[in-house]
Amino acid sequence: MPVPVANTMSNEIISGLQTRFGSIDYSQFQSLRYQFYSYVTYPTAGATTLNFFGTTTGSPNITLADTNMPRTGSFGQQHFFLKSISTRIKMKNTYNLSLFDGTDATTLASDFLMGFLNAGVLNFSIGARPFLQVPKPFQILPPIAGNTITNVSGISALVTPLSNVAGTLTSDTPFVTQTIDRTNVFRFDPNILIEAEQQFACTIDFPSGLVPVISTGICNDTTNPLKVAVFFDGVLLRPLQ
Amino acid sequence: MTLDVLDALQKRFGSANFSRYQIIRQPYYDTVRVQTAGTTQMAFFTVPIGSTDPVGQSQKTLEQTNLVKSGSLGQIFFVLTQIRCYVGLVPKARQVSGTISGDANGTFHGWSSQDPGYQQRYNELLNRGVLNISFAQKSYYQIEAPFINSPPGFGVQVHSFGASKVIADAVKKSIWVQQDNSFTNVWNLSPIQIIEPELQMGVTIDFPDGVSPVFTNTYLSQAAAAATPTMEAMVMFDGYSIRPQQ
């Protein structure tokens, strides 16, 4: 049996070198409130699975507007104390006020009322062990904040207004959002500590069938894609420098 | 094959450590299709994942339930803190082919306008029913009008709703009814209720005052004449799952 050579590749040597010459002090940690987020495109044809936190900033066509993940499926050399989880939906040109003609395809509100927000299940696992399964995640895991608009849905088009039995009528554009009440946020209680380098996976799946986008009149996969996101909110613990 | 042997084997070769437990927030939920012809009872937590919904004749997936055993939550302790009841339409793409799913004007074309209109029947459904929950055949909870008094606490925020009509239709009002989407109004349990492993549960929504509202050939919009919508109802137990560590 080989006899280990003392002080060769031992923890003491690494610790000694790190203490004297290292750029990071692993004996002390700094904590700060932090959000990790990951946006993916919801295809107009629908999808069986949307995979979040699977890409990092700097990947092809991925910028800080899409994600701030340092590593694929892990937080790298940092711990993260997960306190809440939320989803978000965004689109560049969400509401084209002149486009709504009364059909479902011409407003994103259709998708909120009868589209993919009524479907799906979020699966969150750490080290392949399930930690959360939630149906209708875009409703049950709403965002922390959002914008609110109050408007009167007046008449935008009225033809042959001679009586109430003939002619055409179209109201102004409807406006529907996810709930934006902070108390609706899904909190992990107790919180979950995701250790450094711990692999996790977060997907939204549609095992009961595809749910295509209804508002195809304003949404498309190239110039005006529908982006959906999962946000992890909590406390980041990183070694001092 | 004594308990000591089993205990030793489990400790050395087992996949779970039953001496240490982990607590996570994990809701348990079950969704059933609504009998659109009316019913006197909806039964929850009886058809587990992978089995066929008796009303919709569709296979249940994780979208409908995370129940793996009929009538129990399996090998976990569960701390029940909230009861949330939801009912609504399935997505348009999963509605009846050729009628609702293909209706280009379905959402904003006077849903409540015709009699019997969907929205008025839906509103009636929200105001009726009694949720009965029993554990080991002993009654624990009876909540009247559960879709109102024990709301889901999730949904969307409708800032303004739209309307449209086509030639030869009468101008109609459009409304959109939805359940309470505020988490603060969810039915909270105080004291909490522990559901032990393998405990048999009975969860039903009963309509002792007559069958639930009939949605068969309900007018959904002016464009699509009478059609039967596909609806689903869900009971969610929110709380904490206590499971052995791995």
CB-side exposure of B44: number of CA atoms within 13 Å? Answer: 28
Domain limits at A30? 24-240
Cβ contacts (< 8 Å) between B94 and chain A: which residues?
Answer: 119, 208-209, 211
**Terminal Cα-to-Cα distance of chain A (whole angstroms):** 41
Q: Is the backbone of residue B25 left (phi > 0), alpha (psi -120 to 50) or beta? A: beta
**Would A13 be classed as within a structural domain?**
no
**Pairwise CA distance, residues B157 & A181, whole Å:** 10
For A174-227, how does the pLDDT look when each residue is reduced to its tens digit (9 = 90+)?
889 999 888 999 999 899 999 999 999 999 999 999 999 999 999 999 999 999
Q: Which residue has the higher pLDDT, B226 or A6?
A: B226
pLDDT of amino acid B137: 93
Cβ contacts (< 8 Å) between A152 and chain B: which residues?
Answer: 160
Q: Hey, what amino acid is at A57?
A: T
Cβ contacts (< 8 Å) between B164 and chain A: which residues?
Answer: 101-103, 168-171
Q: How far is the alpha carbon of B128 from chain A, nearest alpha carbon, in Å?
A: 23
**Pairwise CA distance, residues B47 & B59, whole Å:** 10
**Pairwise CA distance, residues B7 & B14, whole Å:** 9
Least CA distance to B84: which residue of chain A?
A: A140
**Would A179 be classed as within a structural domain?**
yes
**Pairwise CA distance, residues A80 & B201, whole Å:** 37
**Pairwise CA distance, residues A26 & A66, whole Å:** 30
Q: Is the backbone of residue A128 left (phi > 0), alpha (psi -120 to 50) or beta? A: left
Smallest Cβ–Cβ distance between A174 and the set B29, B104, B162 belongs to B162
Alpha helix locations (H) across chain A?
A: 11-21, 109-114, 137-140
Least CA distance to A191: which residue of chain B?
A: B24
Cβ atoms of A76 and A36 closer than 8 Å: no
* Mean pLDDT, residues A138-142: 97
**Pairwise CA distance, residues A143 & A182, whole Å:** 8
Q: Where are the domains of chain B?
A: 22-155+162-245
Taking an 8 Å cut-off on Cβ atoms, the answer to whether A189 and B91 are in contact is no
Helix (H, G, I), strand (E, B) or coil at A11: helix
**Would A15 be classed as within a structural domain?**
no
Cα three-residue angle A57-A58-A60, rounded to 5 degrees: 115
Question: Which tokens belong to B63?
Answer: 């979208």
pLDDT of amino acid A3: 58
| Inter-CA distances, A38 with A35, A199, B197, Å | 10, 16, 36
Q: How far is the alpha carbon of A240 from chain B, nearest alpha carbon, in Å?
A: 30
**Pairwise CA distance, residues B29 & B63, whole Å:** 9
Per-residue pLDDT band at A121 (split at 50, 70, 90) = very high
Question: Which tokens belong to B109?
Answer: 């074309």
HEC string of A75-90 equals CCCCEEEEEEEEEEEE
Beta bridge mates, B142: B132
* Mean pLDDT, residues A3-13: 65
For A60-114, how does the pLDDT look when each residue is reduced to its tens digit (9 = 90+)?
889 999 999 999 999 998 999 999 999 999 988 776 667 888 788 988 999 999 9
Q: Which residue has the higher pLDDT, A51 or A92?
A: A51
pLDDT of amino acid A50: 98
**Interfacial A residues in 45-64 facing B (CB < 8 Å):** 46
**Would A35 be classed as within a structural domain?**
yes
Mean of per-residue pLDDT scores for chain A: 86
Q: Which residue has the higher pLDDT, B189 or A20?
A: B189
pLDDT averaged over 10-residue windows placed end to end, chain B, 246 residues: 78 76 94 95 96 91 96 93 96 84 76 65 94 96 97 92 61 76 94 95 97 83 69 97 86
Cβ contacts (< 8 Å) between A132 and chain B: which residues?
Answer: 24-26
Least CA distance to B238: which residue of chain A?
A: A134
> Domain count of chain A?
1
Least CA distance to A123: which residue of chain B?
A: B62
